[in-house]
């Protein structure tokens, strides 16, 4: 898949600490997020329609990396929150996140406006976002 050319990625140490997971899972998630590990072999990615599995744009890489992270964490799918701005690819999606089952349980997130991956609680991000999130 090659390195992701956009987006900042938290360290494996930060991922392990925030998500409360062991170092090997944290390293796997970090590698998925920075693009050094391909998400192609993950069951959740293989279950996607063929068109969604194609990696043509950086956004495709981001989407597939989140799908694979969701599987590693045993979360409940990748979801999105709306933003008050628009983007050519993401439209009005401001934040993508792995659904941990509660908005205040830690998850993996991608902020489409800031162009970076984060770990934490998406509920906190929404609260701190002011009027960015409707």
**What's the domain count of the chain?**
1
- Residue 32 belongs to some domain of the structure: yes
**What is the reported pTM?**
0.90
Of the CA atoms within 13 Å of residue 83, those in its CB half-sphere come to 18
When pLDDT is averaged across residues 37-46 and rounded to a whole number, the result is: 93
Residue 98 lies in a domain: yes
Compute the distance between CA of residue 128 and CA of residue 14 in angstroms, rounded to an integer. 20
> What whole-number distance in Å separates Cα of residue 19 and Cα of residue 119?
7
Q: Structural domain of residue 86, as residue ranges? A: 12-132
3-24: pLDDT as tens digits: 554 558 999 999 999 999 999 9
1 assigned to some structural domain = no
Determine contact, residues 78/63, Cβ cutoff 8 Å.
Answer: yes
Name every residue whose Cβ is closer than 8 Å to that of residue 130 and which is 6 or more positions away in sequence.
none
Please give the Cα distance from 54 to 7 (Å, whole number). Answer: 19
Residue at 82 is within a domain: yes
Q: Is residue 5 part of a domain?
A: no
Radius of gyration in angstroms for the set of CA atoms belonging to the chain, rounded to a whole number: 14
Tell me the pLDDT band of 87, cut-offs 50, 70 and 90.
Answer: confident
Report in angstroms the alpha-carbon separations of 123 from 35, 95, 127: 26, 11, 6
Is residue 89 in some structural domain? Answer: yes
CB distance 100 to 90 below 8 Å: no
Q: Is 6 a member of any domain? A: no
Cα–Cα distance, 134 to 113 (Å, whole number): 15
Residues 65 and 15: their CA atoms lie apart, in Å, by 15
Is 93 a domain residue? Answer: yes
pLDDT tens column, 105-118:
999 999 998 889 99
């Amino acid at each position: 898949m090659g390195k992701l050319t956009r987006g900042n990625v938290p360290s494996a140490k930060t991922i392990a600490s925030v998500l409360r997971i062991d170092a090997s899972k944290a390293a796997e998630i970090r590698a998925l997020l920075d693009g050094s590990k391909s998400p192609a072999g993950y069951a959740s990615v293989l279950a996607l329609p063929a068109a969604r599995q194609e990696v043509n744009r950086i956004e495709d890489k981001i989407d597939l990396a989140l799908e694979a992270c969701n599987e590693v964490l045993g979360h409940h799918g990748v979801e999105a929150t709306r933003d008050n701005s628009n983007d050519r690819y993401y439209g009005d999606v401001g934040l993508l996140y792995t659904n941990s089952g509660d908005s205040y349980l830690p998850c993996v997130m991608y902020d489409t406006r800031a162009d970076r991956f984060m770990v934490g609680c998406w509920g906190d991000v929404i609260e701190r976002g002011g009027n960015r999130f409707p």
